[in-house]
């Protein structure tokens, strides 16, 4: 199988605080993980591509200092939303890619972030 676990499933935080979201590949090694953000009734927007042991590659318009991504091992990537604001409220989803040639992206269950 290929299971990706994302934690937490939902989180409510106060404006100005930081929130960390974890993405784990449970039964395979993921050299590459992707972080997406999805606003209501919109499609997935790629935020950054995370490679194990190296710095993440951020998409245009995504603030790297605000959305900190760490991919310290082949099974774990984290996204930290720093100094969160209400406009950061969204559905954050990670996906993982197996090593070698792999066509399918395996998604975590997503994290609903609400900043109040």
Partner 1 sequence: GQNIDQPTEMTATEGAIVQINCTYQTSGFNGLFWYQQHAGEAPTFLSYNVLDGLEEKGRFSSFLSRSKGYSYLLLKELQMKDSASYLCAVKDSNYQLIWGAGTKLIIKP
| Contact residues: partner 1, CB under 8 A | 6, 34, 41-46, 49, 91, 93, 103-110, 112
CB of 83 to partner 1, least distance (A): 26
The contacts of residue 66 (CB under 8 Å, 6+ apart) are 81, 82, 83
Of 42 and 99, which has the nearer Cβ to partner 1?
Answer: 42
CB of 76 to partner 1, least distance (A): 18
Of 34 and 67, which has the nearer Cβ to partner 1?
Answer: 34
Of 14 and 41, which has the nearer Cβ to partner 1?
Answer: 41
CB of 56 to partner 1, least distance (A): 14
DSSP string, the chain: ---EEEE-SEEEE-TT--EEEEEEESSS-EEEEEEEEE-TT---EEEEEEETTSPPEEPTT--TTTEEEEEEETTEEEEEE-S--GGG-EEEEEEEEESSS----EE---EEEEE-
CB of 96 to partner 1, least distance (A): 12
Of 36 and 67, which has the nearer Cβ to partner 1?
Answer: 36
């Amino acid at each position: 199988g290929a299971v990706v676990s994302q934690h937490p499933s939902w989180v409510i935080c106060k404006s100005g605080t930081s929130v960390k979201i974890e993405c784990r590949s449970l039964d395979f090694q993921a050299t590459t993980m992707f972080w997406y953000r999805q606003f209501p009734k919109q499609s997935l927007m790629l935020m950054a591509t995370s490679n194990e042991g190296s710095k993440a590659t951020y998409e245009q318009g995504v603030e790297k200092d605000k959305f900190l991504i760490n991919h310290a091992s082949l099974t774990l990537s984290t996204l930290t939303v720093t100094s969160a604001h209400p406009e950061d409220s969204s559905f954050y989803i990670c996906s993982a890619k197996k090593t070698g040639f792999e066509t399918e992206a395996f998604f975590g269950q997503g994290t609903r972030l609400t900043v109040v």
